[in-house]
């Protein structure tokens, strides 16, 4: 009965299984070229099985990683398009705020009732910032437990696009 521990190879990475496949192939090539003493027939068969199984495992691993990477690229492109559309559809107040931040070269601002012109201004600006957060242009976090002070941070991807847009 074969030892079931050989199934541990399934835990190996694609590069490790590819290395095993190449090593087995080199062993078979060296045997055919006469560079090493002749292998027994069972050794040749074992090396061939190792080469095929490990080669297929490596190909499966590489294909799986390629599919994941293509998915990430597709998601990145979709996010870029969504962000570009969000920036193109900014209203006047949002544009004024973001343009001012770019001109000051500041990615972070704070909002509290004292710099917002009182409670009505605070509520109005908080709503605007929430809209920008929904568009994934800024991130709004509470700087105090009661939420009376908010920190508004422009997302890095949005910052790069806004700098290009407003530095013309």
pLDDT value, residue 22: 94
pLDDT value, residue 24: 93
pLDDT value, residue 149: 79
Domain with CATH 1.10.10.10 in the chain: 90-166
Residue 79 binned pLDDT confidence (cut-offs 50, 70, 90): confident
Output 168 or 97, whichever has higher pLDDT: 97
Asked if 131 contacts 94 with a C-beta cutoff of 8 angstroms, the reply is yes
d(CA 56, CA 90): 51
Of the candidates 12, 7, 18, which has an alpha carbon nearest to the alpha carbon of residue 59? Answer: 18
Q: For the range 48-53, what are the long-range contacts, defined as Cβ-Cβ under 8 Å and sequence gap of 24 or more? A: 48/24, 50/20, 50/21, 50/24, 51/21, 51/24, 51/25, 52/21, 53/9
d(CA 2, CA 153): 60
Q: Is the pLDDT of residue 168 over 70?
A: no
How high does pLDDT run on average in the chain?
A: 85
Of the candidates 78, 125, 122, 116, which has an alpha carbon nearest to the alpha carbon of residue 98? Answer: 125
pLDDT value, residue 11: 73
pLDDT > 90 fraction of the chain, expressed in percent and rounded? 25
Q: Is 103 exposed, middle or buried (0-12, 13-18, 19+ CB in 10 A)?
A: exposed
Instruction: Give the tens place of pLDDT for each residue, 101-153.
Output: 888 888 888 787 777 677 777 787 888 888 888 888 888 888 777 767 788 88
d(CA 18, CA 22): 6
| Options 1.10.10.370, 2.40.50.140, 1.10.10.10, 3.40.50.300; CATH of 90-166 | 1.10.10.10
32: which 2 tokens?
């055919």
The DSSP code for 109 is: E
pLDDT value, residue 26: 93
- pTM (predicted TM-score): 0.55
């Amino acid at each position: 009965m074969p030892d079931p521990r050989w199934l541990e190879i399934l835990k190996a990475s694609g590069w490790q299984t590819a290395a095993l496949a190449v090593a087995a192939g080199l062993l078979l090539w060296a045997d055919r070229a006469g560079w090493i003493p002749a292998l027994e027939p069972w050794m040749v068969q074992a090396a061939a099985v190792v080469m095929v199984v490990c080669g297929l495992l490596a190909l499966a691993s590489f294909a799986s990683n390629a599919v994941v990477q293509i998915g990430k690229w597709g998601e990145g492109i979709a996010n870029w398009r969504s962000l570009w559309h969000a920036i193109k559809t900014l209203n006047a107040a949002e544009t004024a705020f973001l343009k001012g931040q770019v001109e000051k070269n500041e990615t972070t601002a704070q909002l509290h009732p004292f710099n917002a012109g009182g409670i009505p201004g605070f509520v109005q600006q908080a709503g605007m910032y929430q809209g920008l957060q929904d568009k994934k242009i800024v991130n709004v976090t509470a700087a105090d437990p009661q939420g009376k002070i908010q920190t508004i941070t422009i997302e890095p991807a949005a910052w790069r696009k806004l700098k290009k847009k407003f530095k013309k």
